[in-house]
């Protein structure tokens, strides 16, 4: 009789532990609990104290334009951008009966949360449930949540619809389905109808179709369907304008062309440029993420380049094409533009981290090294996430609203106010005249001067010079954040 070889206790224990861990990871209960926890965190970072912050750049104009489109049928405001996102803001105001910041921002915050859900669905399909969870979590705790996800601007809708288009584009490429081709085209059209940058994702979608389907009649005709569906969707959003639609579209392209030729003043690394350098978007992204998190994204990009699989190439193209166009072709470079290519980068980081974690489960030094690399890749994002949650939890009333309340309490909210930024007008009564150019005062007596230490625009130097010249007529009254308030003395 041959004796059966017995495993060493240590080997048996390792296999038993590994089996138990696998069962725990695959547990439906654990999956559901983690998903609910991440969704609650996403809802918190998206909606908590949404109304506290001041109106940010462009929010008031989009709010006013959207309400005019939906309520009055007046499409003359802000024709330099497509209409869809402003329609959504307008419908929100009409349905809710409110134009308060917390209400107007609800659809934007919802779009940001939905972007995370699309990343979850995308990651789950291509790399498993936990990679989907990781993608959702990385998006939720990203500093982008605060930088873009809580503002009623065009970018947040562009980001959501373009991410949806990328997901549907992948579904089309892996299935060759006419339905998914059409849906991808519609989503791409909705992104472009939010902001023209959306069309920059079409090359990536067509590229992954080529990689997965191959050069064939199906690819050609379904690619045409995607493009035609996108164009038709964009044109459909102009239908409410009727016969005025062609002139509005011509005006939009004309304005953007002129804007690109004239440039736009921006501050980069303390220097003011009309045409910021090509690396400006990288500078702003690095400033938002920090060095370590930026390096994590860089490692994910390099890893994808080395693997050169269809999925990684697709996500790289989705990030690089908008970056290259907006950095080297478009001359106007604004700080918020770089948000558009962040979802594919975040998904790429989740996929690379997930695969390394799976390989790190193996025994031996190589497995340990890969596990350590996963920790190093994700630790910066966890740190940024903790900061983001803390920032949201500590959100206070914005400085413009606080200054407006102070002017009301002191009886200075209805005179002529000279300020280094016009958004305070959103919080003052109609009788108040708010100017940010001294020459517009036309000799009238100025009641209040508001300085902003963070201001760098040339015209604001005139405001500081005016206060310095007439310092004996004003007294320091109040300060909050970067803002200082000086009111005219009773005998001034």
pLDDT band at 2 (very low <50, low <70, confident <90, very high): very low
pLDDT winner (highest mean) among 136-145, 428-437, 464-473:
136-145
Which of left, alpha, beta for 449 (phi over 0: left; psi -120 to 50: alpha)? beta
Examine the pLDDT at 181 and tell me if it is beyond 60.
yes
- What are the residues whose beta carbons fall under 8 Å from the beta carbon of 132, sequence distance 6 or more? 119, 120, 121, 122, 123, 124, 125, 350
pLDDT digits (tens, 9 = 90+) for 358-386: 775 555 567 777 778 888 889 998 898 88
Examine the pLDDT at 50 and tell me if it is beyond 80.
yes
More confident residue, 79 or 362: 79
Are 16 and 384 within 8 A, CB to CB?
A: no
Examine the pLDDT at 160 and tell me if it is beyond 70.
yes
pLDDT digits (tens, 9 = 90+) for 402-457: 888 888 888 888 888 888 765 788 888 877 888 877 777 877 888 888 888 666 66
DSSP code for 333: -
More confident residue, 189 or 50: 189
What is the per-residue pLDDT for 364?
A: 58
Rounded to whole angstroms, the Cα distance separating 106 from 481 reads: 26
Quick one: average pLDDT of 470-491?
Answer: 86
Examine the pLDDT at 490 and tell me if it is beyond 50.
yes
- What are the residues whose beta carbons fall under 8 Å from the beta carbon of 117, sequence distance 6 or more? 136
Least confidently predicted of 5-9, 138-142, 225-229, 261-265:
5-9
Examine the pLDDT at 110 and tell me if it is beyond 70.
yes
Residue 492 C-beta-side C-alpha neighbours within 13 Å: 16
Instruction: Provide, rounded to the nearest whole percent, the portion of the chain with pLDDT above 70.
Output: 91
Per-residue tokens: 91: 């419908």
- Measured CA angle at 162 (ends 45, 56), to 5 deg: 45
What is the per-residue pLDDT for 421?
A: 66
Within 10 Å of residue 18's Cβ, how many Cβ atoms? 13
pLDDT band at 1 (very low <50, low <70, confident <90, very high): very low
Quick one: average pLDDT of 56-83?
Answer: 93
Mean pLDDT of the chain: 88
Examine the pLDDT at 317 and tell me if it is beyond 90.
yes
């Amino acid at each position: 009789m041959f004796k059966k070889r017995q495993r060493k206790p240590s080997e048996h224990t390792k296999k038993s532990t590994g089996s138990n861990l696998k069962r725990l990871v695959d547990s439906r209960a654990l999956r559901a609990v983690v998903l609910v926890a991440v969704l609650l965190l996403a809802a918190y970072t998206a909606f908590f104290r949404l109304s506290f912050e001041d109106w940010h750049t462009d929010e008031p104009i989009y709010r006013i334009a959207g309400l005019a489109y939906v309520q009055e049928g007046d499409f003359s405001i802000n024709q330099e951008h497509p209409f869809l996102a402003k329609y959504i803001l307008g419908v929100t105001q009409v349905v809710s009966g409110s134009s308060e910041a917390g209400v107007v921002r609800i659809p934007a915050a919802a779009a940001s949360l939905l972007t995370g859900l699309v990343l979850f669905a995308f990651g789950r399909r291509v790399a498993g449930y936990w990679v989907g969870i990781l993608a959702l979590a990385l998006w939720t705790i990203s500093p982008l949540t605060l930088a873009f996800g809580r503002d009623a601007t065009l970018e947040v809708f562009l980001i959501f619809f373009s991410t949806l288009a990328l997901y549907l584009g992948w579904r089309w490429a892996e299935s060759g389905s006419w339905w998914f081709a059409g849906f991808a085209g519609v989503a791409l059209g909705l992104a472009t109808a939010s902001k023209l940058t959306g069309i920059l994702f079409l090359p990536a979608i067509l590229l992954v179709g080529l990689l997965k389907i191959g050069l064939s009649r199906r690819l050609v005709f379904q690619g045409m369907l995607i493009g035609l569906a996108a164009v038709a969707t964009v044109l459909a959003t102009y239908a409410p304008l009727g016969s005025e639609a062609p002139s509005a579209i011509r005006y939009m392209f004309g304005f953007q062309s002129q804007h690109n030729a004239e440039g736009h003043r921006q501050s980069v690394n303390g220097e003011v440029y009309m045409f910021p350098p090509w690396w400006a978007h990288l500078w702003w992204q690095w400033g938002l993420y920090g060095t370590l998190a930026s390096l994590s994204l860089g490692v994910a990009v390099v890893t994808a380049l080395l693997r050169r699989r269809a999925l990684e190439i697709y996500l790289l193209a989705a990030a690089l094409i908008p970056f290259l166009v907006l950095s080297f072709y478009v001359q106007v470079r604004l700080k918020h533009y770089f948000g558009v290519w962040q979802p594919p980068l975040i998904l790429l980081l989740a996929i690379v981290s997930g695969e390394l974690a799976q390989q790190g489960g193996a025994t031996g030094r190589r497995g340990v090294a890969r596990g350590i690399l996963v920790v190093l890749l994700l630790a910066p994002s966890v740190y940024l996430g903790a900061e983001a949650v803390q920032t949201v939890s500590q959100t206070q009333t914005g400085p413009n609203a606080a200054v407006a309340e102070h002017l009301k309490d002191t009886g200075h909210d209805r005179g002529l106010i000279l300020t280094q930024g016009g958004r305070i007008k959103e919080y003052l009564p109609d009788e108040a005249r708010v100017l940010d150019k001294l020459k517009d005062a036309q000799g009238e007596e100025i009641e209040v001067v508001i300085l902003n230490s963070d201001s760098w625009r040339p015209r604001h130097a005139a405001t500081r010079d005016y206060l310095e010249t007439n310092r004996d007529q004003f007294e320091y009254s109040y300060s909050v954040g970067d803002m200082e308030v000086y009111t005219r003395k009773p005998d001034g």
